[in-house]
Chain A
Amino acid sequence: SAVISQKPSRDICQRGTSLTIQCQVDSQVTMMFWYRQQPGQSLTLIATANQGSEATYESGFVIDKFPISRPNLTFSTLTVSNMSPEDSSIYLCSVLGEGSGYTFGSGTRLTVV
């Protein structure tokens, strides 16, 4: 299965600032996803990152708040913009590889103060 490198692994940010999270995959993948895991909660899909086109956002998530880039088939970024304490979560990228297996990055633990 694909190996994902996600960084940063954690960060503490001031409210009102933005953080960009990177996800690098060791092989070309068609489907990349970004999830949010709020404290004590399960995972919620933010968006599907599409190569060469705009990301597809789930209900409740908007591009202005969570802009996503997908410049090629091995890389994507998620930006959390104008952060507030409510954005404190773990953010995970995921890829759908061959054999229909979903692999996850190790996550970015974000704390907004």
Chain B
Amino acid sequence: AQSVTQPDIHITVSEGASLELRCNYSYGATPYLFWYVQSPGQGLQLLLKYFSGDTLVQGIKGFEAEFKRSQSSFNLRKPSVHWSDAAEYFCAVGPGGDYGGATNKLIFGTGTLLAVQP
């Protein structure tokens, strides 16, 4: 079955500390992987995506993520967290190379709520 697991429901870090948000997926085909951020009352903003190639991808706002096929993981990292990073983060998986077919939907994890302490 296709699924995305974000094991950490809620994380609190101090401002300036490093951050890692975990994401594991189960997908039958080659996946495309995404991280989105949602601020309170807002829609989703794409942080970064992985399609192929270099397994370390850089995104906006200083975020990066590393795709590890052997571990079925796509963890999000940031070396120094800012107070404005407090939000909910969603990992998602979509079909790689199947656009135009019947399975174009994104499957989302349950999200990780990040709180930043001053």
Interface residues of A (CB under 8 A from B): 1, 6, 30-31, 33, 41-45, 48, 56, 58, 92, 94, 96, 100-107, 109
| B44:A42 contact, CB within 8 angstroms | no
Q: Is B42 an interface residue (CB 8 A)?
A: yes
Q: Which of B16-69 contact A (CB under 8 A)?
A: 32, 34, 36, 41-46, 49, 51
Per-residue contact bits, chain B 73-95, to A (CB 8 Å; 1 contact, 0 not) = 00000000000000000101010
CB-nearest residue of chain A relative to B102? A56
CB distance from B57 to the nearest CB of A (A): 13
| B46:A101 contact, CB within 8 angstroms | yes
| B51:A100 contact, CB within 8 angstroms | yes
With A6-B43, A31-B104, A107-B42 known as contacts, the answer to whether A100 contacts B32 (CB < 8 A) is yes
| B43:A45 contact, CB within 8 angstroms | no
| B106:A45 contact, CB within 8 angstroms | yes
Cα A26 to Cα B35 in complex, Å, equals 23
Q: With A96-B99, A96-B104 given, can you name 16 additional A-B contacts, CB distance below 8 Å? A: A31-B99, A31-B104, A33-B106, A41-B110, A42-B110, A43-B90, A45-B105, A94-B106, A100-B99, A101-B49, A103-B46, A104-B44, A104-B45, A106-B42, A106-B43, A107-B44
Chain B CB count within 10 A is highest, among A1, A30, A43, A106, for A43
Interface residues of B (CB under 8 A from A): 32, 34, 36, 41-46, 49, 51, 90, 92, 94, 99-100, 102, 104-106, 108-111
A–B complex contacts, Cβ < 8 Å, 14 sampled: A6-B43, A33-B104, A42-B90, A48-B104, A48-B105, A58-B105, A100-B99, A101-B46, A102-B34, A104-B43, A104-B44, A106-B42, A107-B42, A107-B44
Residues of A within 8 A of B109 (CB): 42
Cα A96 to Cα B99 in complex, Å, equals 9
Cα A33 to Cα B36 in complex, Å, equals 16
| B108:A42 contact, CB within 8 angstroms | yes
